[in-house]
Chains A and B, each alone.
Chain A
Amino acid sequence: MSSEERNAEAMAVVAAGKAETLLAFADALVAQGQRGQTQAPAEVRQYVAFFLGETEYAIPILQCREIVRLTTVTRVPEAPAPVRGVVSLRGHIMPAVDTRLCLGLPGAPPTPRSRLLVVEVTGRLFGFIVDRVARIIKLSVPAIESSAEGTAPLGVTGAVRVGDGTVLLMDADLLLHARLGAVAPNTRGEEA
């Protein structure tokens, strides 16, 4: 396990009792890595990178609220296909979405390294189940913009070369609206 993964995992333990924003965490990491660098970085966006199988994906850090260990997912009868069930995060219940199924990939059973990416979209919380969380990556704006192209599964907005690999950029908002419809605000009732 790389140090980044261990950090992400540590987050899971501490998550109870407070919501540590990933932003602060990421900043700390970046500060650690950049100690000694004097150059001011170009406009950069941060992404949380995760793996589905051997492919690395990333979502904007601003969409991601937390990363937690995958606890019990409670099945819910007649849920739409990509939703495996619901999970409780500090008492708050949210849908647990199988990211693979959302992207049209075949499903896979969870492993001890599977994680739940807690994503916030128009005030609603969703948990995306991923195989493992990899790292926080910084991408320059030009790199992001030049990546959007051609045919890609719904929700994937581009592909970027990072190091010697490719990372597929994902937009949780787009993906959820495409896969789960239900664009209406939460009309079932208020938040408890």
Chain B
Amino acid sequence: MNAIKTRKVLVVEDSRLIHKMYEVMLRPCMLIAAHDGREGLARLAEHPDVDVIILDINMPHMTGLEFLGEVKQTPDFAAIPVVIVSTEGKEEDVARGLKAGAVAYLKKPFQREDLLKIIGRLTTDRTAPQRR
């Protein structure tokens, strides 16, 4: 668990409550919060060194898929792994997200361990030499 405290995570999610939850779950990590796709892109521009993006695929306004499309088309951000978070009944969205370039998915409600496991597998320790 020590290893992930140095990760930088962008969370794109419209619910403030869920943001608070991520804060609690990912405590040692540095969390960047965005509440919709547009804000997500803005935050990414400010923090292009984000290790992983956690994306709620079911957001209104700029949808998760649209945001994902933009990210994957922007060379500076395209390599950042994206984890999709969805609710039950939206499996087609998950498939679309995976097709658009996301590398993993989580279904709400999920456990802290699952989230940590995924982030751990997708990212490296910041203090270790960069492998990208």
Q: Is there a contact between chains A and B in the complex with CB atoms less than 8 Å apart?
A: no
